[in-house]
Each structure stands twice: as structure tokens, then as C-alpha cells.
Structure 1
């Protein structure tokens, strides 16, 4: 290749990554081999026993799985159902599985469409599932036809099920056989929630139709977090990690209620920062900087689909928290700060009631926290108190990274 045809990018494409050998191992979506899943042996066995009938075409038990973020709930559910599908295939059982992220598919119709498209093989069923244009009942009819046509058993993972708008889809899926919607296919549901109180939101009909088992995943301790990262150490090139990197990342994640997802995020981000620095090793300072980057990335992801008005409300709360020793703030004080922010952004202010609606939506999504209503004194009514779930600096950095949001501070 001549110099004039040589692109400056060619040297990048041709070079090997100096830090990572197999970066995929640090991806939270990656389903590792069972020997890399640490501290969840009992949970794997319990869940496998729960869905065991599915292997030979029987109905798996519906199961509710609780635990804080990063405790391995989704990982174990995906691993066990993947193994079940492979085992069933060897026994001529047509078992299929689907994973639904209920933060993305939040409505009954969206869930049914996603399931129908996931399970369908249109060249075999001659059934189409358009993304819109049909009633919810019509989508259900197509789903039932697809399941009976193609599958003996299906297992449906509903992750962050508490984010669903209503619980009718749970009742429809769990009662499909009993109600005569399905003739041959059996359906099992694995419902995953970060909120142990989720079951309290289900009415008696849903609870009766689910007839579920329950498992609670405890947080990882620092030793388990270290082992989790040790078992994925080969994501990096040999000798790249300094000795203090994994213990420090584990210590940070242990402070966040034993969040393995956070630990892997920190480790991956530390490697990326070392690479950007042209460093030959991942060191303690990379881990410390990666911790903040992981917090900002996580919060940015939570906020990415939120409108500017909602971001302005959160930003107002963060400014109050940053300037005060207080942790909780009433709606009146948040609204005063919010109006100053919307003025700096040159956008219309919502009414206080509508801003409170935004705050309550954000609390529902675990973007911020809210206490029960409290009294303000005789004759002064009651109010909610809101508080941040992240450091104010993290919140502000995440919001200010959005080019549409540039408040004049």
C-alpha cells in the first residue's frame, strides 16, 4: 500500500488491543459458563428444580425472584433457562425461552408483541406480528397460535417486572392453559424484581393464577465480588492488572450493597481509561476514576429517555442537595429551584402539580427516592419529601452531558 493510499486509521485497525484480551467477559449481558458464576450455586439449583418439569414437556413452576441490583438474578435466570433449552433439545422437547426487559416493554401490548415476535417462525406458522395496528386481544390470539404451533413449553423471563403498567399480562400468561387459550403448549413465568414488596402490588386473582415460588437473592460480599472478578480476569491481557485493582473494585462495589454489575462496570471502565491513557497497566487511579464513570454512565442510562422537564426537576433536587446538609426536600423548595432552571433553559415551567407528577414517575423508576407524605404543621397540609439516590455531582454530570440540557449555572 502506498503512503497516499494509507489511512491514519489503518494502524489502529491492524493493532492488537493492549489492555483487553476478551472484553466480552465483562459485559453484563454475557452469560458465562457455570464455573464463572460465583456464590449462586443454591439459587441455580433451586431455580432448576422449579422449572425441571419443562425438560420433558411438563409445566414449569412460575417463580418470583427478588434481590437488589447486581445480585445475579437475571444472570442465573438466563443461565438456567439456556441450559434447560439445550437439555430439552436432546430429549426432543420443543422448549423455547424469551427475555423481556420491562423497563423497555412497559405496557401489556408491548410485552405481547415482543413475545409473539420472539417465539414466531413466520416461514413455518405463516403468521405475521406487526409492530402496531392490532388490538391487544388480536396480538394475544396470534401469540397463542404461535405457541401451540411451534412449542411444547416456553419459559418467559420478565425482568424488572415491577415496571409493568398493570398486571393483566401476568394473569393472561399464567392462566392461558386453564382458560383454554392454549391447547398443548405450557407456559412458565420467571418474574424478576428489585423490590421485595412487588408481590404486595398484585391482586388476589393474579396471585392465585401465578401459584408461584419465591426466591430472594442476597447481596454479594466483598470476597464473592473479588472471586467474580478473578473468574473474569482473562478478559484482560496477562500481567495488565496491578495487584490492587480487583480488591479495590470489589471494595467499591461492596459499598453499593454488593452489586456485581457495578463491580464489572468499574473493572471494564478502568481498562478503558488505562487504554485511553496509553498505559501499559490498569492501576488504582484508573479504578477510582472508573468508579465515578460507572455511576455517571448508569445514571445517564436511567435518564436517557426522560424528557427535559423531568431532567430539570432532578437537576433542581441535585442542586439543593449539593448546597445543603439536608438529604430530603419538600416539593415547594424543589419547585422554586426548578423554575430557575427552566428559566435558564428558556423553556416553559410546568405547574407545581405537574412537576410533582414528574418527580413521582422518577421515583417509580428508582431514579430518585420519595418518603411517605408528612405533615407540615396544623393548617399547612402535607407534602412529599424527595431525595437523591446518587451523589449530586454524579447526577449533575450525567444530566449536563445531554446536549439538549445546558443550564446556565
Structure 2
């Protein structure tokens, strides 16, 4: 196909972001080209920008929460992953990861993330100065060069459809936390993943949910998405007082049946351990990159209390199922999904967005709930 695409390229660790132009590729068999309408930005993007994910090399094209309209289809590609016909101009959401689906890790162990034939995920492929180039969502176009890329057609507005990937991660966390109807839950962190974890916990039947974080705009949205109570880190900065406030909000001095950690710091993980009731579960999603270590006593912190601590890495095994489940939840509606994306910024402001998400959490004088890059802006 003819034409030119533009992409926001991070040139180095915490460095300049350049808008570069590329010729649009013609998709091969099973491939497609997407005209990106919106790409969500998450904490992982900010961590990569700061050089905290060693597998990503610079220059890099980031962005893995991708929704757009099909611009070109390669030979043999006529349907989405659910078997629904897809045509040029259809809106689709793209799952960033891809494994072979045939090897021992994929079929026997159920660990597609360990697939030896796993190709780099969209938004994580690097470096960006060699083909296939358009491999991330912070661009006008995505080249889905991996035949078999998982994508789903949808009529949802882009600002809602873009939540499909973070919701799939939150669903993994809720499943790993073993939530049951009537469970009490603490969600640490109210970024995009934390907000989606509140929604997922409510969908799973939790009886009481307490969301912990800030700023106020995010906490207000957490309440609208299903949190019964919120605790503002800015108002209760002392961990001991905060622990008391959280237990008061739960209505249970023993702690929560499940704590879902999305805040992304070793300190928040340590605090989460103290918030779980004996016999409960801590499901940690937030420390997706290496932020350091903390002291931990296997006897006092784990065995004596009969706790379960589980790591939740992305959408995890069976990730395609969770991605599809996320879409069904979003399409069902009934929650203020349209309020989650608070800022839609053009490609030219990608660096500003990455800096804001790394600290400050304010753009144009407004608190950030969720940032998204709008290549059409």
C-alpha cells in the first residue's frame, strides 16, 4: 500500500522523542495494517522510558494498548480471532503478545509467555531503526507483521475499546487472587490497572472493595467503577495510620481476603502483605519492572499467617481468553468507561505524557486518570 506513517520514537533512556516518518508496508499473508485511532499509555511505558526493562533497546517505539481501523488486509485474513468477518475500515482492538500455540510451553504447560517461538510484543519490539518499524501504538499506523495476531472487531468508541488490554491484566489478577462471591478486597493503586482491578473484582462478586491511592480524580473514578470506600495516600501518608484507615474502611480488623497490588513499588508490596487477613491472598501485578528489593521474613510474613502470595505477570497464561473476556465486559456497559481516559495527547506530546506518568500525574493543569496518545490529533 502507498502512503507515509509517522511514529513517536524514544531515542534513548529518558531521552528525546522524535517524530519519524516511514513508508507504509504492504501486509503479507495473514498480516494487516491498522490506522491507529488511540493507544493507551500505562506505567510500563513510563518504566521502559526510564530504562527499567532491559529487554527493550533504544531507539524504541512504545505503546501496547492499541485500537484502530483496519487499513489493509493481507491474503487469507478475513476474520478476527472470534471468527467474525472483518473488512477494511472496521475498528479492532489488538492484543500485543503472540505465541505459536503449538509448542510444549503453549499447549502442555500453559505458559505462552515462555514460548520459544514467541515474537516481540507490539509496543515492546526494538530497536525501532530496523524493519519492520511500525511495531508500536504511538504511531499513526501499526504494522501487524505477526501472522496470527489476536484482534477483535468492536463497535465500542476508541476511548473504551482501548481499555481491553489493561482489563485483561486485571482479570488475570482477580483470578490469581482467588476471589469468590462475598470476598473482601483491597486494591492498591488506582492507575489504569488498579481501576480495572476494581471493576474486575466487582464483576467477580466481591462484597466489599477498598481502593487505595491518588490523586482524588482517580479515587472518585474508582468509586464509580465499584469501590465501596477509598483511602487517599495524600491524606494518610503514614503507613501505620493508613493501615488503620484501610481496616476501618473494610470493616474488619483482620484485613482483606485478597489484596491486589497494582501500585508498582517494593514498599507497596510490603504494605500489601500486612493488609491481607491470615489465610488470604496477595496478588501482585504492579512490580512489572525491577524496582529493587525489600526485607521479607518467610516465617512471620508468610508461613505463620498461612498466606498465599502470587505473582501476576501481564495477562498471563490463557491471555487470549482474558482479552476476549475483557471485551465482553466493556461491551456490556453499565460503568463509566468513558471517564477513564482523561487526556488524549498528540504524537508530538508523547515525551510530555511519559514524563507525567513517571511522576507528577498532571497534564494541562488536570490530574491524570489515564493518558492516551491520539495520532489523529
Do these two structures clear the TM 0.5 threshold for a shared fold by scoring above it?
A: no
Structure number with higher strand proportion: 2
Larger Rg: 1
What is the TM-score with the length of structure 2 in the denominator? 0.30
